[in-house]
A and B are shown apart, each in its own frame.
Chain A
Amino acid sequence: MKILVPVKRVIDYNVKIRVAADGSGVETANVKMSMNPFDEIAVEEAVRLKEAGIATEVVVVSAGVAGSVDTLRTAMALGADRAIHVNTDAELQPLAVAKLLQAVAGREQPQLVICGKQAIDDDANQTGQMLAALLGWGQAAFASKVSVADGRASVTREIDGGLETVSVALPAVITTDLRLNEPRFASLPNIMKAKKKPLDTVTPEELGVDVSPRLKTLKVAEPPKRQAGVKVASVAELVAKLRDEAKVLR
């Protein structure tokens, strides 16, 4: 069984982002970039399925600028076997990414695609579900436990009220939630080895996909700043403030 894992290069989660002064977006120059954390979890899950003898090959794919190659090398250092870079400088929205992934899946014929549930830059939470729809496949989003057997995946999903388990026929798309696993760190020898693993490059044109954005960003602004309040000296003072000033106690 082949597993395809889409990985996105995003601004590192530790970076305090800055909105560009002209309102066009956020500053990305000289900012630390990393693999989207949910995609690290996806790579880890795929590699574990390979280590368990269930998967035979783990292929990672990233769509975006030249720097996405670093993200793909990281994924290979974590255990992916080879990588595909969909090289483009175009702005990519989730529908376009889903179409690119659909085309890649058409070429690669994986039995399973494991996406992150959400990219921490656009916070869209769409791509995996869209991809499943475009492929006509089943989906299991927000996975916190996955087991694969007999042509199906049994997936425990994180939902608002608790947990839900679904059984989905393969091929399918799974998206990862935080508690699915704890990703390993890439060891130095594995980082070296990853440099020699195969990496193919294609373009959206070669895949026959029109990636034109459907949403036009009119403006990106800073959210209103919340004013820091006061420090109170004691529990008694806190309760008095909550009662008399904020009036939130009943």
Chain B
Amino acid sequence: MSILVIAEHDNAGLRPATLNTLAAAAKIGGDIIVLVAGSGCAGAAAAAAAVPGVAKVLSADAAHLAHPTAEDLAAVTLAAAVGHSHVLAPAGSFGKNFMPRVAATLDVAQVSDIVEVVSADTFVRPIYAGNALATVQSADPVKVVTVRATAFDPVAATGGSAPVEALAAPAASPLSAFVSQELSTSARPELGNARVVVTGGRALGSAEAYASVLEPLADRLGAALGASRAAVDSGYAPNDSQVGQTGKIVAPDLYIAIGVSGAIQHLAGMKDSKVIVAINKDEEAAIFQVADYGLVGDLFELVPQLVRELG
């Protein structure tokens, strides 16, 4: 058995979710080969080579992979996948975009968003917003799998020294082209792997209040800022801060939900957090059913108090 792991990276280094995906690969067992597809991606390839347990790194370094399209990522993955029994990628917007193309081209199923490896062909994945867990077995010759990062503890980042081999990337696809990107710039930790997340809901009422109430708390705790769908839809917070079934999945040490009711779609994205705190003026709010510590009251009084109390 051999497992090809498609690295999520920023050319200079690996994104944290890659280390979680490598942990899932290790549970499957077999040789682990990492594909780093990018442009000027020697740093990321070196980082992958330093991960203990990695047998080999394939580096596809090409100008057209600077902002790779799904078509180009699928093509280079298919080139690297020949002969491997498994192809794995993190289940973020990166992996979700191109992995189904890989699976369809190979005429195999994709197993999305696994949270457990039962055996080399059997995996557990959440369905219905995590309200049920399905154990599925694949009979396909190649298992194409995306991995929910929060469900696997990351492997160590250093200590290994795998060889790096160049892989010629197939030519750029004419089907689609990158035009531009607008990345959220923030000095805060990334939502996906922050130790603490402070999330605001509809109750914040405005973008100004979302910022003025939540930022001091996030600053004090070194937290990432998250939002419910309602808060994002109302324009209080950027789209990529949505936590939930159809947004980001997070599992920080501490999750503080402020003015969030706790709809199942929201719980789907945060209920595996280690410690959950909820602040809500409605003592019946569903969020209290998953909260370790609940505080009933007006967030506009309680959050500033909390910041003061934390000192």
Contacts and interface: CB of A to CB of B under 8 A. Distances in A.
Interface of A: 11, 13, 16-17, 19, 26, 38, 93-95, 98, 117-118, 120-134, 137-142, 144, 154, 157-169, 172, 177-179, 213-223, 226, 228-232, 234-236, 238-239, 241-242, 246, 248-250
B277 to A, nearest CB: 7
B199 to A, nearest CB: 15
Contact of B133 (A11, A130, A141, A222): A222
Most buried by A among B101, B108, B221, B246: B246
B290 interface: yes
B109 A93 contact: yes
B306 A239 contact: yes
Contacts of A248: 196, 253-254, 274-275
Contacts of A166: 69, 176-179
Contacts of A246: 254, 275, 292-293
B100 A133 contact: yes
Interface stretch (B19-27, B30-38, B121-129, B153-161): B121-129
Contacts of B130: 223
Give the secondary structure class of A's interface: mixed
Nearest to B109: A214
Give the secondary structure class of B's interface: mixed
Contacts of B305: 235
Contacts of B113: 123, 125
B182 A163 contact: yes
Interface stretch (B50-58, B89-97, B200-208): B89-97
A6 to B, nearest CB: 14
Contact of B289 (A38, A132, A228): A228
Given A229-B292, A248-B253, 4 more contacts: A129-B97, A144-B239, A162-B184, A177-B246
Interface string B145-158: 00000000000000
A164 B178 contact: yes
A248 B293 CA distance: 12
A129 B70 contact: yes
B242 to A, nearest CB: 8
A232 B175 contact: no
A20 to B, nearest CB: 9
Interface of B: 67, 69-71, 74, 92-94, 96-105, 107-113, 122, 125-140, 173-184, 192, 196, 221-222, 229, 232-233, 238-240, 242, 245-246, 248, 253-254, 264-265, 271, 274-277, 283, 288-296, 302, 305-306, 309-310
A128 B99 CA distance: 12
Contacts, number: 259
A215 B69 contact: no
B118 to A, nearest CB: 8
Q: Which 10 pairs, one residue from A and one from B, show the smallest C-beta to C-beta distance?
A: A138-B175, A229-B292, A129-B100, A130-B104, A214-B109, A138-B176, A133-B101, A168-B176, A126-B100, A133-B104
Given A129-B97, A141-B97, A223-B132, A124 B178 contact: no
A213 B173 CA distance: 31
Contacts of B182: 162-164
Contacts of A161: 181, 183-184, 240
A217 B108 contact: no
A231 B296 contact: yes
Nearest to A93: B109
A214 B140 contact: yes
A219 B293 contact: no
A126 B146 CA distance: 11
Contacts of B136: 215-218
Nearest to A11: B128
A93 B222 CA distance: 42
Contact of A226 (B67, B74, B96, B271): B271
A131 B105 CA distance: 10
A236 B264 CA distance: 30
Given A124-B110, A167-B179, A242 B277 contact: yes
Most buried by B among A128, A131, A166, A222: A166
B104 A129 contact: yes
B109 A168 contact: no
A139 B101 CA distance: 10
A238 B277 contact: yes
Contact of A139 (B70, B181, B275, B288): B70
B169 to A, nearest CB: 18
